[in-house]
């Protein structure tokens, strides 16, 4: 049963609940390019295969490359 964790998406500056059991599912559901974002769970950068729980604090931050 997919979870509905609360996710902050920096690119659109919004927080919403997204149905996803893994970070991969979450990124796909948000139609984001995984190469363009940092996937953060509970203040830690995690891989796409990371499982998510409804208690997790999740942030999808944009990769920055300017100088």
Residues that bind another protein (CB under 8 A): 34-36, 38, 40, 43-45, 47, 61-67
Least Å from the CB of residue 59 to another protein: 9
For residues 60 and 27, give the distance between their C-alpha atoms in angstroms, rounded to a whole number: 9
* 8 Å CB contact between 22 and 41: no
Least Å from the CB of residue 47 to another protein: 6
Residue 30 or 38 having the CB closest to another protein: 38
What b/e sequence results for 31-40 when a residue is b if at least 16 CB atoms lie within 10 Å of its CB, and e otherwise?
ebeeeebebb
Least Å from the CB of residue 21 to another protein: 20
């Amino acid at each position: 049963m997919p979870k509905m964790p609360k996710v902050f998406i920096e690119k659109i500056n919004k927080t919403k609940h997204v149905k996803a059991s893994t970070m991969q599912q979450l990124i796909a559901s948000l139609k984001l390019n995984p190469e363009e974002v940092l996937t953060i769970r509970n203040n830690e950068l995690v891989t796409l295969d990371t499982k998510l729980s409804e208690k997790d604090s999740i942030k999808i931050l944009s990769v920055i490359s300017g100088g």
